Amino acid sequence: MMKRRTFITLLGGAAAWPLAARAQQSVAPVIGFLDFGSAAERRQQVAAFRKGLAEGGYQEGHNVALEFRWAEGEYARFPELAADLVRRGVSVIAVPGSGTGALAAKAATTTIPIVFGVSSDPVKEGLVASLNSPGGNATGVNFFTVELVAKRMQLLREVVPTANRIALLVNPTDTENYQSTLREVAAAAGGQQILIREVATGREIDEAFVSITHEKADALFVAPGSFFNTRRVQLAVLASRHALPAAYAVRAYAEAGGLMSYGTDILDAFRQVGVYTARILKGAKPADLPVLQSTKFELVINLNTARALGLDMPAKVLALADEVIE
């Protein structure tokens, strides 16, 4: 009788053990994903982030969960969204495309790891102590978007060598890119007159185009930043309507009909943020992970737009292009 009871008890324990193990495995870590845009317009970027996670052994719905918080084009929403993720108790906060969002996350927590993707120097932004030894709870990827302003200005001058008046669109609410873009454009101007227009809404962009057309601008330079990225179709359409050759920071503009873009391969940068997020989930400390520097840059030219503008794209510039859209 004793042996039979013991056998039944052991059998019951054996049956319960796999259930307990499966229950434990089902408690997957949660990644908070904080972004300036919206789910609809950031599908490619999210897919690239998921690809990076997969490279590190994590798949959503299998051994990790994602909690998305979208600022829907409003920088002012970042603090409340970051605080909400902290209250949710996520394991990591990924902010792949905004220094402003990363700063909001850093202000919301000193303990939850943060993996950022920023367009300017994260040391100057106050996100990390140094690139090699970040310290604190944040690390990530520097896209070098602002640092490439001079190269974009050079390309614009080569494409439109007669341009004497260049309109510059900047967003004063974008603390990550505003001052640095003004500084870099001024340094790279090379004698051209810069017509600065500050815009923070779609309506202000419309008004700015009326103004710069009235002042007979010869070309357009759009500052880097998430706000302008979400307005890329509007910008491309208006530049075409007003016959303004324009230079942008990321390829999505050229794909939307903009003349040309030069900058970081953003999808690869989002993938890198995913890779770093996976490393942290495996136990790496942000303080010990050096900030990655983007090394993949791309020049994309929309030749259809060039023809519509009556531009003869220089052979030298075409030879440098990573992709020509026809």
Q: In this structure, are 60 and 158 located in the same domain?
A: no
Same domain (yes/no): 309, 164 = yes
DSSP 8-state secondary structure symbol assigned to residue 277: H
**Residues 180, 197 within the same domain:** yes
Closest listed residue to residue 108, CA positions, set 79, 71, 77: 79
* Domain annotation covers residue 22: no
Interior/surface letters 244-261, b for 16+ CB within 10 angstroms, e for the rest: bbbbbbbbbbbbbbbbbb
**81 and 157 co-located in one domain:** no
Q: Which domain, by its residues, includes 259?
A: 146-263+298-325
Asked if residue 89 and residue 115 are part of one domain, the reply reads: yes
- Amino acid 287: pLDDT: 95
User: Quick one: 321 and 235 in the same domain?
Assistant: yes
- Which position has the token pair 């000193």? 110
User: What does residue 281 show for φ and ψ, rounded to 5 degrees?
Assistant: -60, -30
Between CA 108 and CA 105 the distance in angstroms is 5
Which residue matches tokens 């791309």?
Answer: 298
Judgement on whether residues 127 and 163 belong to the same structural domain of the protein? no
Which residue type, as a one-letter code, is found at position 213? Answer: T
| 194 and 321 belong to one structural domain | yes
One domain, residues 64 and 152: no
- Distance of alpha carbon 245 from alpha carbon 260, whole angstroms: 9
pTM given for the model: 0.80
Return the ∠ at Cα 152 (arms to 150 and 154), rounded to 5°. 70
Residue 243 lies in a domain: yes
19: in domain: no
Q: Counting Cβ atoms within 10 Å, is residue 205 exposed (0-12), middle (13-18) or buried (19+)? A: buried
Give domain status of residue 123, yes or no. Answer: yes
CATH number at residue 151: 3.40.50.2300
Domain count, the chain: 2
Domain-located, residue 47:
yes
Query: Of 273, 233, 303, nearest to 94 (Cα)?
Result: 273
The per-residue pLDDT for 127 is: 94
CA distance 88 to 93: 11
Whether 304 is in a domain gets the answer yes
pLDDT mean for each 10 residues of the chain (326 residues): 44 42 62 93 93 96 96 92 97 93 96 93 91 95 81 94 95 88 89 94 96 96 90 96 95 95 91 97 96 90 96 95 94
Q: Are residues 71 and 163 in the same domain?
A: no
Q: How far apart are CA 27 and CA 30, in angstroms?
A: 9
- 69 and 116 share one domain: yes
Distance CA 4, CA 75 (A): 68
Name the token pair of 5.
């009871």
In a domain, 208, yes or no: yes
Q: Distances in Å between the alpha carbon of 13 and those of 2, 19, 20?
A: 17, 10, 10
40 Cβ contact partners less than 8 Å away, ≥ 6 residues apart: none
Asked if residue 7 belongs to a domain, the reply is: no
Query: What sign has the CA pseudo-torsion 94, 294, 151, 186?
Result: positive
- Please state, as a whole number, how many other Cβ atoms lie within 10 Å of the Cβ of residue 242: 15
Residues 217 and 79 in one domain: no
At 25 the pLDDT is 43
